[in-house]
Amino acid sequence: MLQTADRDIHGATLSRRFLLRGAGALTVGFGLVGGLAGCVNPPAATVASKLASSWIKVGPDGTVAVHTGNSDFGQGTVFTAYRQIVADELYTTIEAITTVVTGDTDRTPDGGGSYALLFMGSPNIRKAAAYTYQALLDLAAQKLGAPRSAVTAEDGVFRGGGRSIGYGDLVRDQALSLTIPVQDMGPMGLRISGDPPTKPVSAYKYVGQSFDNTATAARVTARADWITDVRLPGMLHARMVRPRTLGSTLVSAGTVDKARFPGAQVVVKGNLVAVVSPNEWEAIQAAQSVADGTRWTDWKGLPGHERLPEALRGNDWAATPVSHEGFFGAPPQAADAPDRARRAIAGAARTLKASYFMPYLKHAPIGPTIAVADVRPDGTTTVHAHNQNAQLLRRAIATMLGTAPDNVVVRSYAGPGHYGRSNGGVSGAEDEAVILSKELGKPVRVQWMRDEDIQWSTQQAAAYSDIEIGLDAQGRMVGYQADHFMPAMGDTRPIGAVLAGLPTIPAPAPSTDPSAPTVNRLWDDWIYGSVKDVSQTGHGGSQIGQAASPLKVGLRDQSMRTPGQFQQNFPREAAINEAAALAGADPLAFRLAHATDPRVKGVLEAVRDASGWQTRPTPAHGAGQGDVLRGRGVSNLYREASYWSCVAEVAVTRSTGVVKVERITLAVDPGIVINPKQLKRQVEGGVTMGVSQALFEEVRFDESGVTSRDWSSYPILTMADLPEIKVVLLHKPEIGVYGSGSEAANALPAAAIVGALHDATGVFARRLPLTPAYVAPLLST
């Protein structure tokens, strides 16, 4: 076989071997050039274990396979935007992108979690494609005998020197390997470095157009590879028997009545109790029977949800360093900012001082967590999963087994949306399936029941904020100060491993280290540029109940859609609404008057116009009269290069305290809108979840554990409560950036609804959810 000299492609390296006829491909591999220092909770990982396979592969028939470590959780991005980006950067057709492989640790590179598909994540796929195109261009120039500058490409065909050649012909009969430079970003996966030339935005053919999600047809015809469908030969079904409380230890495990359940078997490992059977229904019934006979110690160590607002104030906030650092690249605030804000507020003509509270919320996937594991006698382990971070899951399993990540493979399947729950690599069932498979020497499928999935999963951390705003005599904001308090939200310990007493990464615990996992950063960038004296402080602390629980579990928290930022943006925007009212100003005009960034103003003007907003002071004239009162409110947010604004219109029934959201208008400016149809659906989905969170959702718990256990004790919005949703997409190709679109929409409705409630009734709500039990007493005072 003939090998030619390597060629430099804008910092990447193209190597080439000639093969026997017929096969051939260009594949994209990696060379590590640097890493991220001080990443949070570094798991035992080897960089080599992240370097699986190719990001992009161009085959001898000209088709292109995209391999991404990201999985799909309903965003569709990997099947829509990624194909569009690759087709454009490669100057080929979108139909040529025939294969998308996601989240298989042995077949895809480490793309980090499915939380940074665009903005932070998209430079990867864009650059991988751009490097690949440059390599193809280099090959084409040689083949066509023309200088690179004289070669052009369109629809997968190069032309130059009066001749043409298709991509398939360029790679046929050769093994072409392009090694591109990457950095290891820890939990965020690999990031491609360097700056290969990218296609001018003005030349895009696919980005900016609506394309269908290529996964949809299979999902509506029962042909999708759902995680729920995975069946392995000899597989056992398992159901877990949970401790009675979040702090109970096992006294004695119940036994299987073999007369009733001949195929069932109990497995006990530490405090982990499971029942397995070849028959799923037998496993379910036998587990219930075993649970009835299992004895646990009692435990009380939680405040109960009714006492949570006060109890949260008593958390160990002082044990964790405060943070003034943003997350999305915003510079840390100046050291004198707290003093300046304090002085500005002290000298203000009028001041607002208010506290806001958000309860624990559940990710609440429609299907409970599920996984199938196969631990072989030689220790190699395959986990079939539906997980937002396959590489972190792989490492968590390896840590638990005391083996190298290279001995663990995670394969990803379609499944219910997780909304952040499995960002940290575990959604719940995976480690339990592994423990049981290892114990029994057979493949094991673990599926949680509905009550477990609400009571034993992680959740969005509760939070509260103390906010002060100073207004001058003209009613302009002159100072803003916020203290945001939230327990750690990154508990990625596999719960089965914890119960079984097996190794895991440590629980989040306070330390003096400024990168301690309990640190609460500033997730919500300030966007009202005319206010200069602004100070925000993030206070982090322990998870509630963790230290007191003999199991060390307590109320475990994990990131959830718009993580951390929802908890900080809701109080800020609710307070801005109150400040506008204090100033006697229209809340939308008040925001416009304080914004300096034209894109902040742009989304505000867009929702104002699209919603038919009438500029006037709030509350509405005549507020507080009649039984059904109507009002409107507004909110604003910036996240990951996207600008958002939301108007909510509500009807409040005074006699009952029922808040009905009638219409939501939401504008987003993400820079480049890659796929308008898909973004609109994503935004509608986010808004719907956000209205649900604002009106209905709160995790109920007593002193021993979570008492929400089904859809009636953790209600979410139903179709009857769906507002009319109007989405305005602001396409700004000149920005040149793909902002993030599937997140954030859920975080906006709550503050707009609270503003609308005030507009309708003159009453300010300072906590969520806006249930009749909370709102009715507010209205009668």
Partner 1 sequence: MISLTVNGVAREVASSPDTPLLYVLRNDLGLTGPQFGCGLAQCGACSVLVDGREMRSCVTPASMAVGHEVTTLEGLPQRWAAKHGAAGAAGPQDLHPVQQAWIEEQTPLCGFCQNGMMIKATELLETTPAPSTDQIKAAFTTGGPSPHLCRCGSYTAIIDAVHRAAALMKA
Footprint of partner 1 on 717-776 (CB under 8 A): 717-720, 722, 725
CB of 400 to partner 1, least distance (A): 26
Task: Choose one: 250-258, 479-487, 640-648, 706-714; the region binding partner 1 (CB under 8 A).
Answer: 706-714
Q: Is 28 helix (H, G, I), strand (E, B) or coil?
A: strand
**Is 66:100 a contact under the CB 8 Å cutoff?**
yes
Question: Quick check: 574 binds partner 1 (CB under 8 A)?
Answer: no
Q: Catalogue the E-assigned strands of 69-125.
A: 97-102
Task: Choose one: 101-109, 197-205, 215-223, 308-316; the region binding partner 1 (CB under 8 A).
Answer: 215-223
Name every residue whose Cβ is closer than 8 Å to that of residue 646 and which is 6 or more positions away in sequence: 607, 634, 635, 636, 637, 664, 665, 666, 667, 687, 748, 749, 752
Binds partner 1 (CB under 8 A): choice among 1, 22, 203, 281:
281
CB of 132 to partner 1, least distance (A): 28
CB of 610 to partner 1, least distance (A): 16
- In the complex with partner 1, the residue whose CB is nearer, 453 or 466, is 453
Alpha carbon distance 578, 583 (integer Å): 9
- In the complex with partner 1, the residue whose CB is nearer, 386 or 476, is 386
Question: Quick check: 423 binds partner 1 (CB under 8 A)?
Answer: no
Query: What Cα–Cα distance (Å) separates residue 179 from each residue in 26, 35, 53, 145?
Result: 11, 17, 11, 24
Q: How many chain residues interact with partner 1 (CB under 8 A)?
A: 56
Phi, psi torsion values for 560, nearest 5 degrees = -140, 150
- In the complex with partner 1, the residue whose CB is nearer, 114 or 315, is 114
- In the complex with partner 1, the residue whose CB is nearer, 73 or 643, is 73
Question: Quick check: 280 binds partner 1 (CB under 8 A)?
Answer: yes
Question: Quick check: 668 binds partner 1 (CB under 8 A)?
Answer: no
Minimal CA–CA distance to 465: which of 774, 761, 768?
768
Amino acid at 428: G
Name every residue whose Cβ is closer than 8 Å to that of residue 13 and which is 6 or more positions away in sequence: 6, 7, 31, 178, 179
Question: Quick check: 716 binds partner 1 (CB under 8 A)?
Answer: yes
Q: Which two tokens stand for residue 125?
A: 């796929």
Quote the distance between the C-alpha of residue 197 and its chain's center: 30
Q: How far apart are the first and last CA of the chain?
A: 86
Question: Quick check: 289 binds partner 1 (CB under 8 A)?
Answer: no
Task: Choose one: 246-254, 391-399, 644-652, 681-689; the region binding partner 1 (CB under 8 A).
Answer: 681-689
CB of 452 to partner 1, least distance (A): 11
Phi, psi torsion values for 692, nearest 5 degrees = -60, -45
Task: Choose one: 219-227, 430-438, 542-550, 647-655; the region binding partner 1 (CB under 8 A).
Answer: 219-227
- Reported residue count of the chain is 781
Footprint of partner 1 on 351-370 (CB under 8 A): 364-368
Question: Quick check: 428 binds partner 1 (CB under 8 A)?
Answer: no
**Is 771:653 a contact under the CB 8 Å cutoff?**
no
CB of 684 to partner 1, least distance (A): 5
Alpha carbon distance 388, 391 (integer Å): 9
- In the complex with partner 1, the residue whose CB is nearer, 447 or 518, is 447
Q: Which two tokens stand for residue 432?
A: 């339990």
CB of 681 to partner 1, least distance (A): 6
- In the complex with partner 1, the residue whose CB is nearer, 6 or 229, is 229
Question: Quick check: 479 binds partner 1 (CB under 8 A)?
Answer: no
Task: Choose one: 412-420, 432-440, 633-641, 771-779; the region binding partner 1 (CB under 8 A).
Answer: 412-420
**Regarding beta strands 370-375 and 444-447, do their DSSP bridges make them parallel or antiparallel, or are they unpaired?**
antiparallel
DSSP per-residue codes, 476-543: -EEEEEEEEEEE-------HHHHHHT---PPPP---S-TT-TT---B-S----TT--EEEEEEEEEPP
Where does residue 367 rank: exposed (0-12), middle (13-18), buried (19+ CB within 10 A)?
middle
Task: Choose one: 68-76, 104-112, 478-486, 593-601; the region binding partner 1 (CB under 8 A).
Answer: 68-76
- Across-strand partners of 372? 384, 445
Q: Which two tokens stand for residue 475?
A: 């009613």
Question: Quick check: 262 binds partner 1 (CB under 8 A)?
Answer: no
Question: Quick check: 419 binds partner 1 (CB under 8 A)?
Answer: yes
Task: Choose one: 443-451, 465-473, 531-539, 762-770; the region binding partner 1 (CB under 8 A).
Answer: 443-451
Task: Choose one: 307-315, 677-685, 751-759, 765-773; the region binding partner 1 (CB under 8 A).
Answer: 677-685
Question: Quick check: 259 binds partner 1 (CB under 8 A)?
Answer: no
Question: Quick check: 99 binds partner 1 (CB under 8 A)?
Answer: no
Alpha carbon distance 696, 715 (integer Å): 6
- In the complex with partner 1, the residue whose CB is nearer, 73 or 528, is 73
- In the complex with partner 1, the residue whose CB is nearer, 310 or 710, is 710
CB of 281 to partner 1, least distance (A): 5
CB of 742 to partner 1, least distance (A): 9
Binds partner 1 (CB under 8 A): choice among 86, 141, 286, 414:
414
Within 583-636, where are the H helices? 587-594, 598-611
Question: Quick check: 182 binds partner 1 (CB under 8 A)?
Answer: no
Where does residue 1 rank: exposed (0-12), middle (13-18), buried (19+ CB within 10 A)?
exposed
- In the complex with partner 1, the residue whose CB is nearer, 118 or 140, is 118
Alpha carbon distance 27, 135 (integer Å): 10
Q: Is 289 helix (H, G, I), strand (E, B) or coil?
A: helix
CB of 638 to partner 1, least distance (A): 22
Task: Choose one: 276-284, 325-333, 377-385, 750-758; the region binding partner 1 (CB under 8 A).
Answer: 276-284
- Across-strand partners of 180? 30
Helix axes 749-761, 565-582, angle to 10 degrees: 30
Binds partner 1 (CB under 8 A): choice among 24, 43, 69, 74:
74
CB of 367 to partner 1, least distance (A): 5
- In the complex with partner 1, the residue whose CB is nearer, 77 or 542, is 77
Binds partner 1 (CB under 8 A): choice among 29, 69, 417, 564:
417
Alpha carbon distance 462, 87 (integer Å): 43
Footprint of partner 1 on 112-171 (CB under 8 A): none
Task: Choose one: 70-78, 128-136, 388-396, 470-478; the region binding partner 1 (CB under 8 A).
Answer: 70-78
Task: Choose one: 107-115, 279-287, 337-345, 750-758; the region binding partner 1 (CB under 8 A).
Answer: 279-287
- In the complex with partner 1, the residue whose CB is nearer, 312 or 691, is 691
DSSP 8-state secondary structure symbol assigned to residue 94:
G
Alpha carbon distance 378, 404 (integer Å): 13
Give contact residues for partner 1 (rule: CB under 8 A): 72-76, 212-213, 215-217, 219-222, 224, 226, 228-229, 279-281, 284, 364-368, 414-417, 419, 447, 449-450, 677-678, 681-682, 684-689, 692, 710-712, 716-720, 722, 725
